[in-house]
């Protein structure tokens, strides 16, 4: 049965093998996966974690080299202080209790006795604070973004009084341009101008939610002003039919990169997509996006999220190099040639370094429908008149 509404990467390798064949029938045990080497609690993807649960990072038969834990609480982003033990086997945070209403991201690099490195990225969220509304916003304060950035606010609970909340949120730009809101359901509010931002624009988000009644007995707690700057104008067009991506910067073509896109069974969405997150390495598990156990790769390099449903543009080291520019073999992602561990000199590595959150990637000639406006930062696929109609205010 064809699955709809779901996109993730396609892999020539369908599962992580337990052994590698090494000449004349000799079997050699494969290196352990990052999840087997690096242990993180709470577990990856955990939701509604209580404040009393312990955050801990440890390594099996190796040493921790770098641990970075960030959390988004009340819409702001913080790096959590902590320390690695003297023997390098564990990391513990300075804060003993988790913060309610927060999203945690854990990035770990470890090394074994032979100098082999493993990297792992996990996330989890904690229980919402009782009777409080918090808006988690994108992008971050003082971030430099691409010209396709859409300001997106996700609330930790449904908003019944959307008019009051919308009045309490303002997005402005310098040089001045009209910025309009649009509700996606009752817990997400996005803002964008009619056209892509101009390079050099400074955008300010005013959250004046403190004391605002969002629902019966539920009130906002934030009073915050943040700004971000729009950098150079980089736009990339993926022609899935020709297996080629053309990258333009400030109107000039700077590169053409061979790619592999979604297969005929699982085509890549067409339309405008926006880079919303960047990961030097991340795990991609088919079960999380409705493809069963077809793949589970824990070290996908140079990955950039394009949709919430799982479309990424990422490095691919498992497909033969001749695949790129010649065939579409993925489950919907866009793959660029890379090496295991991520090669900064590869096509994927070079594109990753040159990209910003907020850059636009447009897909054409895949044969799939246009990505939904609410799937990731896909609002550029909605006509302006329809976008402005998504406000609850006159």
Whether a cis peptide bond, with omega within 30° of 0, leads into 139 is yes
Whether a cis peptide bond, with omega within 30° of 0, leads into 175 is yes
Q: Is 272 one of the catalytic residues?
A: no
Of 182, 302, 314, 331, which one is the catalytic site residue? 314
Q: Is 314 one of the catalytic residues?
A: yes
Of 121, 243, 331, 333, which one is the catalytic site residue? 333
Strands 213-215 and 38-41, bridge-based pairing:
unpaired
- In this structure, what DSSP letter does residue 13 have? S
Query: Do residues 236 and 151 make contact, with C-beta atoms less than 8 angstroms apart?
Result: no
215-247 burial: b if 16+ Cβ within 10 Å, else e: beebebbbebebbbebbebbbbebbbeebbbbb
Whether a cis peptide bond, with omega within 30° of 0, leads into 284 is no
CB atoms within 10 A of CB 346: 19
Cα–Cα distance measured from residue 74 to residue 135, given in angstroms and rounded to the nearest whole number: 6
**Catalytic residue ranges:** 314, 333
């Amino acid at each position: 049965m064809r699955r709809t509404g779901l996109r993730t990467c396609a892999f020539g390798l369908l599962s992580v093998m337990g052994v590698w064949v090494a000449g004349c029938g000799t079997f050699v045990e494969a290196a352990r996966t990052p999840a087997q080497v690096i242990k993180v609690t709470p577990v990856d993807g955990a939701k509604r974690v209580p404040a009393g649960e312990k955050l801990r990072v440890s390594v099996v038969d190796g040493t921790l080299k770098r641990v970075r834990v960030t959390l988004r609480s009340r819409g702001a982003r913080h790096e959590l202080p902590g320390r690695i033990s003297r023997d390098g086997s564990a990391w513990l945070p300075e804060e003993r209790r988790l913060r309610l209403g927060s999203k945690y991201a854990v990035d770990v690099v470890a090394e074994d006795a032979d100098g082999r490195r493993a990297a792992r990225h996990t996330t989890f969220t904690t229980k919402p604070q009782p009777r409080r509304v918090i808006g988690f916003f994108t992008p971050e304060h003082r971030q430099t973004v691409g010209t396709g950035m859409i300001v997106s606010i996700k609330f930790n609970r449904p908003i019944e009084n959307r008019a009051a909340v919308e009045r309490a949120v303002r997005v402005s730009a310098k040089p001045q341009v009209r910025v309009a809101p649009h509700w996606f359901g009752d817990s997400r509010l996005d803002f964008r101008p009619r056209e892509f931002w101009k390079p050099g624009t400074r955008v300010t988000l005013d959250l004046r939610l403190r004391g605002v009644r969002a629902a019966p007995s539920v009130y906002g707690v934030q009073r915050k002003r943040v700004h971000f700057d729009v950098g150079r104008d980089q736009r990339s067009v993926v022609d899935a039919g020709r297996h080629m991506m053309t990258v333009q910067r400030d109107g000039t073509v700077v590169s053409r990169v061979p790619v592999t896109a979604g297969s005929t069974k699982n085509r890549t969405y067409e339309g405008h997509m926006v880079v919303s997150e960047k990961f030097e390495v991340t795990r991609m598990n088919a079960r999380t996006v409705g493809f069963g156990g077809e793949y589970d790769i824990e070290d996908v390099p140079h990955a950039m999220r394009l949709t919430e449903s799982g479309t990424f543009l990422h490095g691919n080291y498992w497909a033969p190099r001749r695949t790129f520019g010649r065939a579409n073999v993925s489950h919907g992602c866009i793959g660029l040639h890379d090496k295991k561990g991520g090669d900064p000199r590869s096509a994927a590595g070079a594109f990753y370094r040159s990209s910003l959150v907020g850059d636009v990637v447009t897909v054409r000639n895949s044969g799939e429908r246009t990505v939904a406006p609410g799937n990731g930062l896909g609002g550029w696929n909605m006509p302006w008149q329809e976008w402005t109609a998504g406000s609850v205010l006159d």
